[in-house]
A and B are shown apart, each in its own frame.
Chain A
Amino acid sequence: MTKGERVLVPAESLDVAVERLLTEAAAEGKRWSLIPGRVRTTVPSKPAIEDMLSDRLRRALEHEVVALNPSVGGGDISQRDVNEEVVKKALVALRLSTLKSLANERGVAVAGKAEEIAERIGRAYQWDPNEVARLILEHEEEPSPDRGHVTRLFPLAGTPDIERVYARLRQTAGHYIRIGVARWFVFNRVLNESADSVRVEGSHRWYRATVDDYAGLPRLTPVPSEDTASAWIRRTDSLIQIDGASSGAAKACAAAIQTGGDLQGRGYVPLAGMVNDDLEAHSAFMVDLLVNRFRMAGFEEMDLTVTKFKVGEEVGWDDEGQAENRPALRSVRFEGRHLLDSKVACELLTVGRPLVDMSLSVRVRSDDKHRVARFPIRVAIENNHVLVATGYGSGDPELSLKAHRAALGAVKQEVETGVADSARLEAYAGRIVERAGAESDAAVATMLLLEEEADEGSQPIPVLVPDFIVAEANEAEGLAVPMQKPEFDLAGDAFDELSSRELEAVTALLRVGKVKGAAAMFGVQVAGYRMILRSVMRKLEQREEGNVEIEALLTDLRRFDLQ
């Protein structure tokens, strides 16, 4: 056998080998424990790990050989293999950085390709599809159409005459109209559920034409496709709202409704225009949503995680009508956290690059304030419509729907009435220019904080240690002179080696006073949160000498149980 060669081994033989190797290992261990002089410690509650080791060894062997699995019942893949591969498939659809963060939180190795990390995570969750589904929803930074609410808003030239629209559209029910080459829209139902709205349900059907050579005879084969769409036209809205459809189906549905209902579509998204000569119109639309409308909608702790800027025009054409073949960058996408605080994103905003697509994570409270959850929200400005998508998040469907409705309401208002608060937007435009001109990225994200918080943010951020910690510390140590509530300047030079994430973690812990609560506030799992804090402590311990502030902070951090 040569290095790297993978031999073919029947899967049953692999199982036998794994069983044999581990049984022999256990026997050997037991035999050694009886050797005189060995100090054996019997712990009745010691957890059983044989199955997990067997699983690990089998997978390690599968990596080295080609395991030949018997097909079930004449050709089927075993259900176990299907389950495990489906779990992996769902995980690898996440971004690599998200996968690594999940692996880190679960305490499994983060090295390697996406598939390897997904395999470790899947194994750590015992390949439980429900657990993995929950995990994926919790960590999705950008909502995807199949895992969230999706709505597309197509602006109209004015508000519709709803009676006339209904009178026309009801004639289309049960009929179809052509909307393009080999493309049709079928009006399945047209409903007038209230006096102020019309609902249209239908399907977009289209055909691809392929040419086959069948026994020497060329033949044209139509390949059909179908996608459904559901639309609302409301008396008070100068737009068509299409829920849950793909981009193609939504465009087809909007075109069919405009034709059938004799509605004048704008064909573009109305934008208020430049702000302060600094923010381009698309960017102003997005930033106004972030700093004004989403806040008014009740979203808390907004964190911009993905931004996409247009940086060039569409492909150019030369004098002879040929497409220019020079390389051209058309868009640039950033992924991360608190992107509005990133210098490079602010630079693109200030040089007039249109921000056309953004995803953010927001915190939403239930009406009774008892439930809180985070959801990813995406807003994208397309040529003739705006997309609003909200992920299902951490498994509270009611709150997810509430978040989607709030985001949708905010975007609708932005489309219909323009900027919510010009003065405030202008102030933010000024801050963006300031950030673009800064020497480096800010240590602490402050851009999406309220003005009063942001003013504090530009100054050192004071963090007060909760009273109960001071009280417990005094009680535990029986101090003659009670411990004072220290105040740390986390933005000071003493903490300059900490990343913004680490600073945020420390701040959360000190504010909340409990590791679990702070992890939830910080939006990570407890294990991952502890790792971040341990890294903070290691960095601080290296710089502790003679620095009173660091010493005081370390003393307080050590009071929390970070094990």
Chain B
Amino acid sequence: MGLRIPAHLRDLATSIGAQSWVAGRNFGRDRYFAYVDKLKLDLAAFCAPDDIGPELLVPILARVVDAEDVFIGHVLKTTVEIKDPETWLRMCEAVAYSILQRYHRELENGKWVP
């Protein structure tokens, strides 16, 4: 079964178009997917590969998204306002979940090979 975006981020993910950004050309699929593979190797020092869940990967991917300053341009085109740090954090988390969702899907259907 594919990865689901947690309920508390789902509405936000929809309103900022997180999944459509991840599906778009400006996303940088190969770089992000290769980075997820690398993170899994790094995190293997702390837990078994099967235990590396989105809770571990999302904060790190969210940091990449935050530092890259590309996704924020997409958010500014929507009507959703970045009111405070909590909102921006949740936006980055929502897009990080969307990245992992696509990663898992493509891993399952063989479109991405680590």
Contacts and interface: CB of A to CB of B under 8 A. Distances in A.
B76 A43 contact: yes
B49 to A, nearest CB: 8
A398 to B, nearest CB: 33
Interface in A538-562: none
- Interface of chain B, helix or strand or loop or mixed? helix
B47 A1 contact: yes
A4 interface: yes
A32 B85 contact: no
B6 interface: yes
B98 to A, nearest CB: 16
Interface in B79-113: 79-82, 84-90, 92
A107 to B, nearest CB: 6
Contact of A29 (B65, B76, B84): B65
B59 interface: yes
A22 B55 contact: no
Interface of A: 1-7, 9, 17, 21-22, 25-30, 32-33, 35, 38-43, 46-50, 52-54, 56-57, 60-61, 63-65, 103-104, 107-111, 124, 534, 563
Given A4-B51, A41-B70, A111-B6, A28 B42 contact: no
B76 A41 contact: yes
22 contacts: A2-B48, A22-B60, A25-B63, A26-B64, A29-B64, A30-B67, A33-B67, A33-B68, A40-B70, A40-B73, A41-B73, A41-B76, A43-B76, A43-B82, A46-B72, A49-B88, A52-B86, A103-B8, A104-B8, A108-B8, A111-B6, A563-B79
Nearest to B85: A47
Contacts of B7: 109-111
A60 B56 contact: yes
B64 A28 contact: yes
B66 A49 contact: yes
Given A21-B42, A53-B89, 11 more contacts: A1-B44, A17-B45, A22-B60, A29-B64, A40-B70, A41-B69, A41-B72, A46-B69, A64-B51, A107-B8, A111-B7
Contacts of A28: 35, 64, 67
B50 A3 contact: yes
A108 B89 CA distance: 12
A52 B89 contact: yes
Given A30-B67, A65-B47, A563-B81, A49 B89 contact: yes
Contacts of B56: 57, 60-61, 64
Given A21-B60, A65-B47, A29 B82 contact: no
A217 to B, nearest CB: 52
A438 B22 CA distance: 52
A64 B6 contact: no
Contacts of B69: 29, 33, 40-43, 46
